[in-house]
Structure 1
């Protein structure tokens, strides 16, 4: 892998003229009573929203931002994450910003090696809500990332443009069921039926299901009854800027101040 050279588009992107960092939110495996991993979420240096940062990303800086966000997330994970060799890092990426999958992943691999974070612990999420300019290109990205040893996930599943089609075409390791399907599921028979169907489809395809956006105990109980074991949401912990938030019963939190 070290022989790969970045493509010209990867080298020549415009420099960013704004700063950003990451907040981390835990993903919990309740079947094993542990933190499965953390999702890295873009934030401003003072905790400004992801939208306020993404609004500044232009077509000219899309690639540079996507690469810088990956590296920032990996560098922070290398400093913050427990040295258990298992806790995973989930990173959102922009498929439309990837020019050549094998070359454009090089910076992520180099960052992981530099901080001693095994790249097999990294999961890349792409969202169903983003219209893909070239579906075959996205298929190549997912295939290359999996070949390199990364996990892949389809985010916001059930809320975007072509969910089942994307699942059939890309076969990610994991799908994250969109929070709009989760909200109030304990009191909504229709939502329970839809999610039960998605769980059955995922199981048939050997795809793991994660329910995101959990806000109440009722939602959690309903989803556990459907056989889901991976969860994420405010019910457990809110994202913490440059740190790992405390989750009752899941170990000690970490922060940059504590480990610097």
Structure 2
């Protein structure tokens, strides 16, 4: 079985990832789980399980039924192996300053919704989206190739704040870049706002069309990032672990594309 639809990786990529995870566990003096003692579910199936949870974002009870194990085993493998998967794939995440050298950089932001529905008025609640979650800043090239993804910021914070809190201003310094209206004041080229109680001029409309045409590429990159449904649907795990999840998904995206 190739597991391509389940995990998002082809057979060769999956096999290499399992080998790296096995090596990391063997070399770890205090491994979170011992490969030789994984009776309920083999290491190969356990890595598939972690990728399945990231790619399809099912509830753990559904994953347990599909894999023929208990929900408790799903939870244990998820907690133990997600950090290992992120660690062994971190080498595939390029340095954004090097990857963007000589390129125009397109910036987008996206909301990853979370389970914290009771947090209206708190740091995770986005008044714009009327939902709770984390703000991720995404950088891509004019060809739509992903360059980097920022650390998550509570969704209540403005896009310009999220930009400044990220590593983007330093990593992408001296690059020509564009953002959307939420990035006004960041130093990026952004569409022109409509003047109060006036219509945009013909020149402003033409400029905005040109910028929005360019920005279609970063929107495609963001859409591909959200092929990992844990970003596209609702993240239900502990909020403290979302940063690790974001790193793992970013690393998997680059790994899948062959970086």
Q: Do they superpose with TM above 0.5? A: no
Q: Counting helix residues as a fraction of each chain, which structure ranks higher?
A: 2
- TM-score bracket for this pair, using the shorter chain length: under 0.3
Normalising by structure 2, what TM-score? 0.26
Instruction: Determine which structure has more spread, i.e. the larger CA radius of gyration.
Output: 2
Q: Counting strand residues as a fraction of each chain, which structure ranks higher?
A: 1
